[in-house]
């Protein structure tokens, strides 16, 4: 009976330990699909802009990453999505500063783990891979800040017209009074 019980336990243990070995490994396509899924916050989904997905895709396609690196990248991506979702904010700019810093540091650490260097200077995001290839994008679509001020050109045009009219009138007056005859 003890031998039978030991054999059953050994078989169960072998099956349980073998299951993770047959688990599907993470692929580059899985990471891109995860990025395209966006971040679910409450009932809404914040889509990650296409330019960021393209940056990730370009990096992944140009570099041969190990299964371990891909798995790590996927786990960090899922972790970052959970942290973002927990804030309840759909816009990155509305997330508290300490959480934004945590997410940026998580991205920098994940990039380092897969052999890349990620930098963000507030304007551009730059990734440099192991081979020295650089992938750069603008963080914002429009680097020119709209201040809401608009220029109304009516007054300058009217003022210019008034000055030209005054000068024309002064010339006509000077000609009539023959002020140019002695010049």
pLDDT at 93 over 80: yes
Instruction: Tell which wins on pLDDT, 14 or 60.
Output: 60
The answer as to whether 64 is a domain residue is yes
Q: Is residue 89 part of a domain?
A: yes
**Separation of CA 104 from chain center:** 11
Q: Which domain holds residue 75?
A: 25-115
Q: Is residue 137 part of a domain?
A: no
Predicted TM-score of the model (pTM):
0.61
Q: pLDDT category, 16, cuts 50, 70, 90?
A: very low
The count of structural domains within the chain is 1
In percent, the amount of the chain with pLDDT more than 90 equals: 0
**Separation in Å, CA 152 to CA 145, 149, 155, 158, 160:** 19, 10, 7, 11, 14
- Per residue in 26-84, pLDDT (tens digit) is 888 898 898 888 888 888 888 888 888 898 889 888 888 888 988 888 899 899 889 98
């Amino acid at each position: 009976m003890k031998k039978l019980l030991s054999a059953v336990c050994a078989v169960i243990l072998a099956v349980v330990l073998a299951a993770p070995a047959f688990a599907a490994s993470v692929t580059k396509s899985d990471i891109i699909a995860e990025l395209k899924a966006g971040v679910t916050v409450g009932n809404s989904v914040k889509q990650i802009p296409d330019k960021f997905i393209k940056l990730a895709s370009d990096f992944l396609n140009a570099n041969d990453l190990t299964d371990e690196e891909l798995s790590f990248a996927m786990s960090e991506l899922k972790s970052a999505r959970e942290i973002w979702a927990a804030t309840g904010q759909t816009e990155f700019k509305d997330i508290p500063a300490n959480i934004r810093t945590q997410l940026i540091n998580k991205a920098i650490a994940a990039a380092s783990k897969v052999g890349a260097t990620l930098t963000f200077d507030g304007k551009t995001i730059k990734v440099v891979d192991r081979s020295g290839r650089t992938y750069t994008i603008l963080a914002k679509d429009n680097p020119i800040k709209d201040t809401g001020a608009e220029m109304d050109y009516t007054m300058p045009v009217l003022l210019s017209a008034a000055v030209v009219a005054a000068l024309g009138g002064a010339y006509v007056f000077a000609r009539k009074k023959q002020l140019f005859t002695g010049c």
